[in-house]
Amino acid sequence: MSIIISILLFLVTISILVAVHEWGHFIVARSCGVKVLRFSIGFGKIIWSKRTQKGLEIAVSLIPLGGYVKFLDENEAAVPLEDRPYAFNRQSPFKRIAIVLAGPIFNFLFALFAFWIMLMIGVHTIKPIIAEVVPQSLAAKAGFVAQQRIVAINDTPVSSWQDIRLALYPELAEDKPVWVSVQGPSDVAPHSILVNLSGLRLNDDNIDILEDFGVFPFVLDIPAVIDQVEPKSPAAAVGLQKGDKIISINGQSIANWQALLEQITRLGGQTATLVILRHDTQETLSIQVGKRVDHQGETRGYLGIRAKTMILAPDLMFLKRYNPMAALAKAGQETWRMTALSFELLYEMIRGKLDLSGIAGPIGIAESAGSVAHSGLAAYLSFLALISIGLGVVNLLPIPVLDGGYLLYFLIEVARGKPLSDKAQLIGIKIGFTLLLCLLLFASYNDIMRLLQ
């Protein structure tokens, strides 16, 4: 049933965002005097269509991974003499630029709208209070202790763990230290700790920056129950599975996830004996604990497992809700911040500073859609906004077949005073299609690897 829900939510999510994107192209094209022949959700074979009184064909196509608006265009088919003024290719380069830019811009506007509604509904947020600092971790060496509340990153106020993640992600590719302001229960005022994030990277071995940083959110308890197993990890090699509860390591009883992490951290490269509980049956496993050298040059043990969903104490959460005007201002800030962050992370990926394993494809989006379905409308709106921003950013890439590719063609036309030759445009489209297909296959590969965990 959860798979069906994920698939349905994926279709709903993609349909909404594609409709918004293509509506941007459609409405601006109509305002520029271009005749629109078809508005399609999805591409490929048309499985349903309806024609309006003005001759516009509204269609649903077989492959639900995009959509398109088909304009009257002499480059695609013969156009009657009386209709030629309404053809796309007859418009000035500046009108065509406005039309191709409209799709991504509408995605950003939709994100603004979704964030606005979400902030008025209210968002349940976890207070960024540290429960546990992992021994020998970056946080421990920097001087962080339990009970401290993180209040700012580089003078930027933070009020949730998500704020902290978003503030730290752009710093991963930098070699300069970060100031983290904290305040303990007995502190009169916050004080700042200088942290060097050099060497910290977001990749398959470091899915959550907080975990590698070495802090755990304040929670009632984190049971030592496996929720995810990384492929090709020590845990995967001995057959550890989702749902396994680790009872002891080398005879040492394990009360919770923090205790498990402390034991594993110091056993790097050694053989350990695990006692696990699987389907109410105890099993004993011998495992070779992996080891990694952290950014401080010290060796730490790891198994390649992630914790079961944490149970949060109600008093450690609060509902952030805004009035319409304050929500609109905050939504604008959030849209700008997430758009800038998306471009920055994309740039760092191109530079090779960030691992490409974080790229998600259709399966990853479907899985995420299914997860947020259980978190309420506000969470789903936030998810829609983030995916819409991602769609807008990707479409601005200067790759032919994407809006950014056509924008590049039209800018070259403005600079040259004449368009590129048909042959040059066709070559660009073939290259662009190949790149896009490779990106889709790579993202789908990442999705499958995550599922195999």
Residues forming the active site = 22
Alpha helices in 122-196 (DSSP H): 138-142, 161-168
E strands, 3-56, are 36-51
Q: Which long-range contacts link 185-190 to residues 24+ away (Cβ below 8 Å)?
A: 185/147, 190/151, 190/152
CA distances from 422 to 178, 385, 397, 409, 427 (A): 51, 37, 21, 11, 9
Comparing CA positions, the residue from 390, 392, 400, 408 lying closest to residue 436 is 400
Buried/exposed code over 119-155 (b: 16+ C-beta within 10 A; e: otherwise): bbbebebbbbbbbbbbebbbbebbebeeebbbbbbee
Residue type, 411: L
**Contacts (Cβ under 8 Å, ≥6 apart) of 92:** none
Residue type, 8: L
The H helix count followed by the E strand count for the chain is 12, 18
Q: Characterize the bridge pairing of strands 245-249 and 271-278.
A: antiparallel
SS3 246: strand
Distance of CA 237 to the CA centre of its chain: 29
CB 120 within 8 A of CB 327: yes
Comparing CA positions, the residue from 223, 221, 413 lying closest to residue 306 is 223
Around Cβ 112, how many Cβ atoms within 10 Å?
Answer: 19
- State both tokens at 184: 């303990």
